Amino acid sequence: MGNPDVARIFYEVADLLELQGVSFKPQAYRRAAAAIEQLEVDIADAVREGRHKEIPGVGAAIAKKIEEIVDTGRLAYLDELKSEVPAGLLEVLMIPDVGPKTAMQLHRELGISSVAELKEAVESHRLQSLKGFGAKTEERILLGIRTLESSGGRTLLGEARPVARAYLAHVMACVPDVPASICGSLRRGRDTIGDIDILVASDSPDEVSEAFASYGLVSEVLARGSTKSSVLLQNGLQVDLRVVEASSYGAALQYFTGSKEHNVIVRKIGVERGLKVNEYGVFERGTERPVAGDSEESVYEALGLPWIPPELREDAGEVSAALDGKLPSLVDASDIRGDFHIHTDWSDGSDTIEEIASAAANLGYEFVAITDHSQSLTIANGLSPEKLRRQLGEIGRVGDKHADDITVFSGSEVDIKPDGSLDFPSSLLRELDVVIASIHSKMKMPKADMTKRMTKALESGDVDILGHPTARIIGRREPVEVDLEEIFEVAADAGVAMEVNAFPDRLDLRDVHCRLAKEHGVPVAIGTDSHSVRHLEYLELGTITARRGWLEKGDVLNTFRPNDIRKRLSGRRS
């Protein structure tokens, strides 16, 4: 049970209490949840030392509940609350822009208790009869429902990955020394995933399925057999287990990693060579003699192919590239030397520059860039020019202190205003090491206007990186309308890099756009957009996205040494 899990339980309690019309208590749970999210230490350690009671907002009652969660992995109070509220109403809360108050009003006054019922009510304009609801609200709710539907109940890669890794670690600890892996879309690194797939090779499948079903975070065992089991976790994710014989492990790993489209092509190549490919192995047609299967490499080799990295297996030309010996040599997590996009407590982050620098140095980074918001972004406590100048002093001090272990670049995430101008004067931007320019306002411009707005910023001569270029938020906000090909052409000429924003709900540029940027000769810069030291670990999600975009080491600025980055970026100021 990590801190985010405990926080999530309390947020859920708060929502449920609010749905029941309880006042004050929901705020108390939310305050505690937020404090736990921000906590520097592991909540389980805090409980062991009795220090969880010192967390701001945690009184005696909540402290007891934290103990219960840490001890048992669940909270009886939450289960109780859940049983009192229609399950469909919780789903209604997942619609963007619909909070507990609105959901409760809809339930009370129109008897709505599911997303389907709400959609029906919106479409027949029944909401307009309610106090405070107009045509605009209906439209917004309908858009929210569509966004929810298009996300299809999928889970962010960044949320599912740690869950899957912890689960796999549990299974591997119970049944040591057997091959085991995550497969499916999670292994391919897709930005959202449907469920988690775990594959294990073992001669004692019952032992494996026992270990699988006994995991502490399982809320329900959906199916249990010796080769296939399924469970539902407390956070709603489904996890499927397959157990195969060691001689089939590679074939099963290849098969269950997918994608389906990739596997169709792989099987076709098999047919051309007189081979049958399935999850048990590669077999000679007719004689059924097995020719490969224990490792993934052996499966691809039997087909005359080199091993293809899972991130590329999307039927996007990877098999023909493999046949031609033209697979890219993908950038690897170990090539990445630092992070280009970090907020501190100078704007809307929660940690100091010193805390970020120390944490990044501990992670083995060679550089970090401090890029707080600019003045226009008042909701994010953007910096005035004077404050930014003062911050430069502090960045310099921290940088000097850590000179032996990490380079701290000064920087800014400067707003691109609706007219395409930047939120700081050129003279100030030229004092900074790294300038990210981003759009945070007026996202609904027509495509031509948005393209003009961004190209003007790129051509200003003051920008190093275009931040989260499409501004999408997965499951919540569609990308802005912009002509990316034109953006890439202009960026290539202006020497501006594209960001791969690695925050779990952004991953922007996304995979296919990374590839397009590369084709236009535009490098990418990965930035976590961290607002806390806890977010620094998202860097790997950016690397996975870059890999899915076929990027090699040389395409990613984060692989350069700090001195070379400095040289490259200083071109902007000459």
For the bound state, the minimum distance from the C-beta of residue 491 to Zn ion, rounded and expressed in Å, comes to 17
Pairing label, strands 465-466, 497-501:
parallel
Size of the residue set binding Zn ion (CB under 5 A): 3
Q: At its nearest, how many Å lie between Zn ion and the CB of residue 57?
A: 26
Q: List, in sequence order, the alpha helices (H) in 379-446.
A: 385-401, 426-429
Query: CB-wise, 52 or 510, nearer to Zn ion?
Result: 510
Cβ(315)–Cβ(262) below 8 Å: yes
Q: Which is nearer to Zn ion, 93 or 454 (CB)?
A: 454
Give the integer Cα–Cα distance in Å for 304 and 478: 41
HEC-encoded secondary structure of 493-548:
HHCCEEEEECCCCCCECCHHHHHHHHHCCCCEEEECCECCHHHHHHHHHHHHHHHH
Closer residue to Zn ion in complex, CB, 122/377 = 377
Site for Zn ion in 322-351 (CB under 5 A): none
Q: Bridge-partner residues for 411, per DSSP?
A: 371, 434
Spatial separation of the C-alpha atoms in residues 375 and 379, rounded to whole Å: 10
442: left (phi over 0), alpha (psi -120 to 50) or beta: left
Only one of the segments 89-97, 261-269, 326-334, 435-443 lies at the binding site for Zn ion (rule: CB under 5 A); that segment is: 435-443
Rg value, the chain, Cα:
26
Region class of 500: left (phi > 0), else alpha (psi between -120 and 50), else beta: beta
Q: Which is nearer to Zn ion, 110 or 473 (CB)?
A: 473
Question: Is 528 one of the binding residues for Zn ion (CB under 5 A)?
Answer: no
Kindly write down the DSSP assignment for every residue of 208-258, as one continuous string. HHHHHHT-TTEEEEEEE-SSEEEEEETTS-EEEEEEE-GGGHHHHHHHHH-
Q: Which is nearer to Zn ion, 166 or 443 (CB)?
A: 443
Which one of 111-119, 243-251, 301-309, 432-440 is the stretch in contact with Zn ion (CB under 5 A)? 432-440
Q: Which of residues 263-302 bind Zn ion (CB under 5 A)?
A: none
Write phi, then psi, for 234 (nearest 5 degrees).
-60, -30
Give me the residue label for tokens 């170990």.
Answer: 334
Write down the least CB distance from residue 471 to Zn ion, Å.
Answer: 8
Which one of 191, 195, 366, 529 is in contact with Zn ion (CB under 5 A)? 529
- The stretch among 202-210, 265-273, 377-385, 524-532 that binds Zn ion (CB under 5 A) is 524-532
Q: Which is nearer to Zn ion, 413 or 555 (CB)?
A: 413
And the tokens for 484?
Answer: 């990316």
Q: In the complex with Zn ion, which residue's Cβ is closer, 350 or 438?
A: 438
The nearer residue to Zn ion, 344 or 438, going by C-beta atoms, is: 438
Q: What DSSP character marks residue 95?
A: S
Q: Do 507 and 514 touch, CB atoms closer than 8 A?
A: no
Backbone angles phi, psi at 544, to 5 degrees: -60, -45
Smallest distance, Zn ion to C-beta of residue 372, A: 8
- The amino acid occupying position 371 is T
Distance CA 458, CA 460 (A): 6
- Asked whether position 505 contacts Zn ion by CB under 5 A, the answer is no
Regarding 438 and contact with Zn ion (CB under 5 A), the answer is yes
Site string (361-400) toward Zn ion, x via CB under 5 A: ----------------------------------------
Question: Which window, 104-112, 187-195, 217-225, 433-441, contacts Zn ion (CB under 5 A)?
Answer: 433-441
CB of 186 to Zn ion, least distance (A): 26
What's the closest the beta carbon of residue 442 comes to Zn ion, in angstroms?
Answer: 14
Contact region for Zn ion (CB under 5 A) — 93-101, 250-258, 438-446, 538-546? Answer: 438-446
**Considering only residues 401-420, where is the footprint of Zn ion by CB under 5 A?**
413
Residue 463, SS3? Answer: coil
Q: Between 296 and 499, name the residue whose CB sits nearer to Zn ion.
A: 499
**Nearest-CA neighbor of 340 among 311, 360, 364, 354?**
360
Comparison of 263 and 460: residue with beta carbon closer to Zn ion: 460
Positions 32 through 51 that interact with Zn ion (CB under 5 A): none
Nearest to 318 by CA among 292, 336, 300: 300
C-beta of 453: minimal distance to Zn ion in Å?
15
The verdict on whether omega for the bond into residue 507 sits within 30 degrees of 0, i.e. cis, is no
Task: Candidates 171-179, 361-369, 430-438, 556-564: pick the segment binding Zn ion (CB under 5 A).
Answer: 430-438
Q: Which is nearer to Zn ion, 17 or 370 (CB)?
A: 370
- Least separation, in Å, of the C-beta of 432 and Zn ion? 15
Nearest Cα to Cα of residue 501 among 493, 510, 492, 489? 510
CB of 371 to Zn ion, least distance (A): 7
Strand partners, 367: 338, 407
Give min distance, CB of 195 to Zn ion, in A: 31
Q: How many CB atoms lie within 10 A of CB 172?
A: 17
Name the one range near Zn ion by CB under 5 A: 40-48, 286-294, 486-494, 528-536: 528-536
Pick between residue 413 and residue 423 the one whose CB is nearest to Zn ion: 413
Per CB under 5 A, contacts with Zn ion among 184-223 are none
How near is the Cβ of 335 to Zn ion at its closest, in Å?
A: 23
Nearest CB to Zn ion, comparing residues 339 and 511: 339
Residues between 56 and 95 that touch Zn ion (CB under 5 A) = none
The burial class, CB within 10 Å (0-12 / 13-18 / 19+), for 146 is: middle
* Contact footprint for Zn ion (CB under 5 A): 413, 438, 529
